[in-house]
């Protein structure tokens, strides 16, 4: 290679280097900012996870401390004093507090449960459980029609909650003297493939107690047993 070619190559390399340095001076801050954002985002994510974990642990400790109180009414008051971090956690606390109130003040417990059932900012599963517990509560102050109105909507849902609602509707039919409607509901529950062993046992006992023959029973759905007990 001639001296001229070598000189041209060296000049070209210098020009490229100068252009690279110029680009770095002009736009290098963007790369630095991007790196800082990545590092900062990762640190923020880890900090948020740690905060969420600490909040969940603090909530769990507060609930356990409240439930460890000797007096039932004091347990309910202690649960009420807990500041839930969100609607879903508040729903769980409300269900626990209602369970503590149920024995001494069932009307207050039913009121609490129905208030939870009517909220639109919590998951349907909590609203459905609250509805079912309220209508099943002895001494709730709810008449048969009020309970029936609450259960009719729940009976349209899916899964075992639907069957539990149908069971309560059958009991209301018996309470109001509609024996035939009650037997029809009970027979449908007993024959439903989604009915658990516990639920099927309860309804067939009622059917037999009413002087009727046992209906043909299918096998229950696997894995549903714990929900129907």
Task: Work out the average pLDDT over 55-81.
Answer: 83
Q: Identify whether the C-beta of residue 192 lies closer than 8 Å to the C-beta of residue 221.
A: no
Which of these, 137, 189, 180, lies nearest to 160 by C-alpha position? 189
Is the pLDDT at 169 greater than 90? The verdict is yes
Q: Identify whether the C-beta of residue 169 lies closer than 8 Å to the C-beta of residue 151.
A: yes
Select from 114, 142, 170 the last residue of a domain: 142
Taking the model in full, what pTM does it have? 0.66
For 155, residues 6+ apart whose C-beta sits below 8 A from its C-beta are 162, 165, 166, 169
Residue 80 and residue 111 in one domain: yes
Is residue 29, in this structure, part of any structural domain at all? no
Is residue 84, in this structure, part of any structural domain at all? yes
pLDDT band for 166, please (50, 70, 90 cuts): very high
Is residue 18, in this structure, part of any structural domain at all? no
Dump strand ranges (E) for the chain: none
Counted domains in the chain: 2
Residue 166 and residue 113 in one domain: no
Is residue 194, in this structure, part of any structural domain at all? yes
Residue 130 and residue 176 in one domain: no
Q: What is the DSSP letter of 220?
A: P
Residue 123 and residue 168 in one domain: no
Residue 132 and residue 65 in one domain: yes
Residue 60 and residue 136 in one domain: yes
Query: Quick one: tokens of 75?
Result: 């347990």
Residue 176 and residue 138 in one domain: no
Residue 128 and residue 178 in one domain: no
Task: Work out the average pLDDT over 30-36.
Answer: 68
Residue 129 and residue 172 in one domain: no
Percentage of the chain beyond pLDDT 90 is 26
Query: Quick one: tokens of 193?
Result: 């493939």
Residue 117 and residue 74 in one domain: yes
Residue 138 and residue 70 in one domain: yes
pLDDT band for 228, please (50, 70, 90 cuts): very low
Select from 107, 142, 177 the last residue of a domain: 142
Question: In the 3-class helix/strand/coil scheme, how is 102-134 assigned residue by residue?
Answer: CCCCHHHHHHHHHHHHCCCCCCHHHHHHHHHHH
Of 81 and 26, the structure prediction assigns the larger pLDDT to 81
Is residue 13, in this structure, part of any structural domain at all? no
pLDDT band for 226, please (50, 70, 90 cuts): very low
**Domain limits for position 76:** 55-142
pLDDT in tens, 97-117: 999 888 888 999 999 999 999
Is residue 92, in this structure, part of any structural domain at all? yes
Is residue 1, in this structure, part of any structural domain at all? no
CA 28 to chain centre: 49
Is residue 15, in this structure, part of any structural domain at all? no
Residue 192 and residue 118 in one domain: no
Is the pLDDT at 35 greater than 60? The verdict is yes
């Amino acid at each position: 290679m001639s001296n001229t070619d070598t000189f041209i190559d060296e000049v070209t390399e210098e020009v490229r280097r100068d252009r690279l340095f110029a680009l770095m001076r002009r736009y290098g801050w963007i790369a630095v900012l991007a790196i800082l954002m990545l590092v900062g985002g990762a640190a923020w994510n880890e900090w948020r996870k740690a905060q969420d974990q600490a909040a969940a642990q603090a909530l769990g400790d507060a609930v356990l401390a409240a439930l460890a109180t000797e007096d039932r009414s004091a347990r309910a008051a202690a649960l009420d004093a807990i500041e839930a971090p969100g609607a879903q956690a508040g729903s769980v606390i409300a269900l626990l507090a209602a369970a503590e109130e149920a024995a001494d003040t069932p009307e207050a417990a039913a009121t609490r449960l129905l208030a939870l059932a009517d909220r639109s900012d919590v998951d349907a599963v909590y609203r459905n459980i609250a509805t079912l517990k309220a209508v099943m509560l002895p001494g709730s102050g709810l008449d048969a029609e009020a309970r029936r109105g609450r259960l009719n909507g729940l009976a349209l849902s899916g899964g075992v909650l639907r069957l539990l609602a149908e069971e309560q509707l059958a009991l209301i039919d018996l309470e109001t003297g509609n024996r035939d409607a009650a037997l029809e509901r009970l027979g449908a529950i007993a024959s439903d493939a989604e009915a658990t062993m516990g639920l099927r046992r309860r309804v067939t006992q009622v059917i037999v107690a009413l002087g009727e023959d046992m209906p043909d029973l299918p096998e229950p759905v696997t894995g549903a047993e714990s929900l129907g007990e």
